[in-house]
């Protein structure tokens, strides 16, 4: 019986939303391991930035990681942890122990040992790997020791400093286990080819900008079991297609070229009430303003950050992006997330007149992803700041480029609308992007330096006492919001649209591509 000692934790699916859609078509049966006898196509809003699961930063990376690599555990509805490569586990704030399934193999058929699993985890935690999500799983700058007992099929992960979200962090796509052959062969890992992964598929061929053709591996028989399982069989082959336009996704759904898609913008309205489609809204895109606070950027000035917060209006933003269907935020997550602040008095009051006195002539470079409602939120921010007297330059770019330029801080930007995706619906996901080391060593892409926030977050992550944890998070959020290091806006829906031929699941509102089934 799986009885983890922790009930709260974090996994991070960081910002950089890539909506997805799926198609099916009959292509006969084959000898692959899944036995579905059909082909599916899942659309990504951009190319993945990497096929190395541990280095993923945008949602296309995470979709591919789920298809190619299995993690020790997975997250189900309500934050319940379910079996992945491990069948049982126990965890505290400083240690997690796992017992692996018997008969595990890599995608080339070679046995997967506990030692290999431990080596993969050690690589993930090693700062030399450059896995920015490691801070979410193990805690910032933590010393991690992972050991494997092949005879007992057990893996132990120990932390020098407490991090109470360790167990949930290991449900992340980025925590997917890489096989020993790929660890010894960087080219194999780079391609996601047979032998690299532990998941149900491997990359057969890849054409960047077009599609990534995945083939079902032989001998795979340990797909996770969720509370709500999809009907049908896994596809034998999957095309991960790059489709940047939601309008194109909607067109292909209507003409039968697509059977499953996730759409954030107005095109979702085409399917409302249509008997041949199921439309399920999921408010998982939590959007907020984050500043580049490094010297030389306007966001380094607290007065400018406050003025921008005064200029913006959450309701107007919500109307621009979701036509009013989204949920207004009062902090870095929505009200369903444990310990989130719902105190509106902590937010800067909208005051356009006061904003004009500060922003007149201030040059602001807004760089945002167009993966959410075609970038409508970015355009709202540009227009509003212009009306307040600022000189605004907007770059509305694809998710992969945005991930590099903004999340990786390799581009020239002053302000971004961060669309945060939160796999575990906990505060650590967005919080870990606002503290700690800057890229490439960490996730603090804005260079935020807020000692009160860091202190509160650290106290929250050092305890498993829920009352103490929420008290610490309250202090952390107050420090962050008072300094206008973020400006909360709204949570937008992803509308999952499926035709009758396919079945999928979205535990806690997040589509699991590896669980797509053909009915």
Please spell the DSSP secondary structure of 425-468, one letter per residue: -STHHHHTTSSSPPTTTSS-TT----HHHHHHHHHHHT---HHH
> Do residues 78 and 508 lie in contact, with contact meaning Cβ atoms separated by under 8 Å?
yes
Ramachandran angles phi, psi of 195, nearest 5°: 105, -15
What per-residue confidence (pLDDT) applies to 26?
A: 33
Name the residue with tokens 């917060």: 309
344 within domain boundaries: yes
Decide the pairing of beta strands 95-100 and 144-149: unpaired
What per-residue confidence (pLDDT) applies to 19?
A: 39
455 or 256, greater pLDDT: 455
Where are the extended beta strands (E) located within 37-122? 38-44, 73-75, 81-83, 86-91, 95-100
135 within domain boundaries: no
Angle of helix 376-387 relative to helix 314-322, nearest 10 degrees, comes to 140
Q: Is residue 4 pLDDT above 70, yes or no?
A: no
122-137 pLDDT per residue, tens: 999 999 999 988 988 9
63 within domain boundaries: no
34-48, 244-258, 393-407: the lowest-pLDDT one: 34-48
Q: What is the largest CA-CA distance in the chain?
A: 70
**Average pLDDT of span 311-317:** 97
Retrieve residue 408's tokens.
Answer: 């990786």
344-372 pLDDT per residue, tens: 999 999 999 999 999 999 999 999 999 88
151 or 135, greater pLDDT: 151
Structural domain count of the chain = 1
Distance CA 176, CA 201 (A): 13
Residues in CB range of 330: below 8 A, 6 or more apart: 340, 341, 342, 343, 344, 346, 347, 488
For Cα atoms 496, 497, 502, give the angle at the middle one, nearest 5 degrees.
Answer: 110
DSSP state of 152: T
What per-residue confidence (pLDDT) applies to 6?
A: 25
Q: Is residue 461 pLDDT above 70, yes or no?
A: yes
> Do residues 415 and 287 lie in contact, with contact meaning Cβ atoms separated by under 8 Å?
no
Retrieve residue 497's tokens.
Answer: 């649209």
What per-residue confidence (pLDDT) applies to 510?
A: 85
Retrieve residue 186's tokens.
Answer: 């960087």
22 or 435, greater pLDDT: 435
Distance CA 510, CA 22 (A): 15
Question: What DSSP line would sit under 161-205, residue for residue?
Answer: S--TTHHHHTTSGGGPPPPHHHHT-HHHHHHT-TTS-SSSEEEEE
492 or 423, greater pLDDT: 492
Name the residue with tokens 């979709």: 63
> Do residues 493 and 265 lie in contact, with contact meaning Cβ atoms separated by under 8 Å?
no
The residue count for the chain? 519
pTM of the model: 0.79
For Cα atoms 288, 334, 405, give the angle at the middle one, nearest 5 degrees.
Answer: 30
> Do residues 108 and 181 lie in contact, with contact meaning Cβ atoms separated by under 8 Å?
yes
Angle of helix 376-387 relative to helix 302-311, nearest 10 degrees, comes to 110
What per-residue confidence (pLDDT) applies to 37?
A: 61
Distance CA 403, CA 226 (A): 31
Angle of helix 302-311 relative to helix 352-359, nearest 10 degrees, comes to 140
232-275 pLDDT per residue, tens: 999 999 999 888 888 998 998 898 878 888 888 788 899 999 99
Using 50, 70 and 90 to split pLDDT, how confident is the model at 216?
A: very high
What per-residue confidence (pLDDT) applies to 10?
A: 25
Q: Is residue 281 pLDDT above 90, yes or no?
A: no
342-346, 432-436, 452-456: the lowest-pLDDT one: 432-436
213 within domain boundaries: no
Among candidates 117, 66, 126, 123, which has minimal Cα distance to 96?
A: 117
66 within domain boundaries: no
Angle of helix 451-461 relative to helix 466-482, nearest 10 degrees, comes to 170
Ramachandran angles phi, psi of 361, nearest 5°: 85, -5
What per-residue confidence (pLDDT) applies to 224?
A: 97
What per-residue confidence (pLDDT) applies to 423?
A: 67
Using 50, 70 and 90 to split pLDDT, how confident is the model at 329?
A: very high
**Average pLDDT of span 86-106:** 96
Distance CA 231, CA 273 (A): 22
422-433 pLDDT per residue, tens: 766 789 889 989
9 within domain boundaries: no
What per-residue confidence (pLDDT) applies to 486?
A: 98
Q: At 353, which helix (H) or strand (E)? A: helix 352-359
Using 50, 70 and 90 to split pLDDT, how confident is the model at 25?
A: very low
**Average pLDDT of span 475-502:** 93
Where are the extended beta strands (E) located within 72-227? 73-75, 81-83, 86-91, 95-100, 144-149, 154-159, 201-207, 211-216
Residues in CB range of 512: below 8 A, 6 or more apart: 66, 226, 504, 505, 506
261 or 98, greater pLDDT: 98
47 within domain boundaries: no
359 or 42, greater pLDDT: 359
HEC sequence for 243-285: CCCHHHHHHHHHHCCCCEEEECCHHHHHHCCCCCEEEEEEEEE
**Average pLDDT of span 364-385:** 94
Domain CATH code at residue 310:
3.10.105.10
Decide the pairing of beta strands 502-503 and 327-328: unpaired
Residue-number span of the structural domain to which 473 is assigned:
283-494
Percentage of residues in the chain having pLDDT higher than 70: 92
27-41, 236-250, 256-270, 448-462: the lowest-pLDDT one: 27-41
44 or 381, greater pLDDT: 381
Percentage of residues in the chain having pLDDT higher than 90: 67
Distance CA 71, CA 172 (A): 7
476 within domain boundaries: yes
């Amino acid at each position: 019986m799986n009885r983890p000692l922790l009930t709260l934790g974090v996994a991070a699916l960081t910002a950089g939303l890539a909506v997805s859609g799926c198609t099916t078509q009959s292509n006969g049966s084959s000898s692959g391991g899944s036995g579905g006898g059909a082909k599916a196509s899942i659309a990504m809003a951009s190319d993945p930035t990497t096929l190395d699961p541990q280095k993923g930063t945008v949602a296309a990376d995470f979709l591919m990681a789920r298809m190619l690599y299995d993690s020790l555990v997975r997250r189900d509805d309500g934050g319940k942890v379910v079996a992945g490569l491990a069948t049982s586990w126990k965890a505290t704030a400083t240690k997690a122990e796992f017992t692996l399934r018997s008969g595990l193999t890599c995608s080339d058929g070679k046995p997967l040992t506990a030692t290999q699993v431990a080596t993969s985890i050690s690589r993930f935690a090693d700062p030399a790997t450059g896995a920015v999500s490691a801070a979410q799983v193990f805690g910032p700058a933590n010393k991690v020791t992972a050991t494997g007992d092949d005879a007992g099929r057990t893996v132990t992960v120990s932390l020098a400093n407490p991090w109470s979200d360790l167990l949930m962090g290991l449900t992340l796509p980025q925590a997917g286990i890489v096989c020993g052959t790929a660890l010894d062969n960087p080219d194999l890992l780079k391609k996601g080819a047979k032998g690299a992964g532990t998941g149900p598929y491997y990359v057969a061929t890849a054409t960047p900008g077009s599609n990534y053709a995945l083939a079902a591996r032989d001998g795979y028989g340990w797909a996770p079991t969720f509370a709500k399982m999809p009907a049908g069989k896994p596809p034998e082959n999957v095309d991960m297609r790059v489709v940047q336009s939601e309008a194109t996704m909607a067109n292909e759904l209507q003409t039968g070229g697509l059977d499953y898609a996730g759409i954030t913008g107005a095109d979702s309205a085409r399917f409302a009430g249509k008997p041949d489609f199921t439309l399920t809204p999921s408010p998982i895109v939590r959007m907020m303003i984050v500043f580049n606070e490094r010297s030389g950027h306007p966001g380094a000035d607290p007065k400018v950050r406050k003025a921008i917060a005064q200029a913006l209006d959450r309701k107007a933003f919500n109307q621009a992006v979701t036509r009013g269907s989204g949920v207004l935020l009062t902090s870095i997550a929505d009200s369903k997330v444990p310990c989130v602040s719902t105190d509106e008095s902590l937010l800067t009051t909208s005051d356009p007149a006061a904003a004009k006195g500060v922003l007149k002539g201030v040059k602001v470079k807004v760089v945002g992803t167009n993966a959410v409602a075609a970038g409508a939120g970015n355009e709202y921010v540009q227009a509003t700041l212009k009306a307040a007297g600022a000189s605004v330059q907007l770059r509305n770019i694809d998710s992969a480029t945005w991930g590099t330029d903004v999340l990786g801080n390799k581009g020239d930007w002053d302000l971004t609308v961060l669309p945060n995706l939160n796999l575990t619906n906990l505060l650590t996901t967005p919080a870990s992007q606002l503290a700690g080391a800057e890229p490439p060593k960490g996730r603090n892409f804005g260079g935020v330096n807020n000692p009160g926030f860091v202190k509160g977050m650290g106290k929250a992550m050092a305890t498993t006492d829920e009352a103490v944890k929420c008290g610490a998070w309250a202090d952390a959020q107050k420090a962050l919001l008072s300094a206008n290091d973020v400006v909360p806006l709204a949570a937008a829906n992803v509308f999952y649209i499926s035709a009758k031929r396919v079945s999928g699941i979205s535990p806690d509102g997040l589509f699991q591509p590896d669980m797509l089934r053909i009915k």
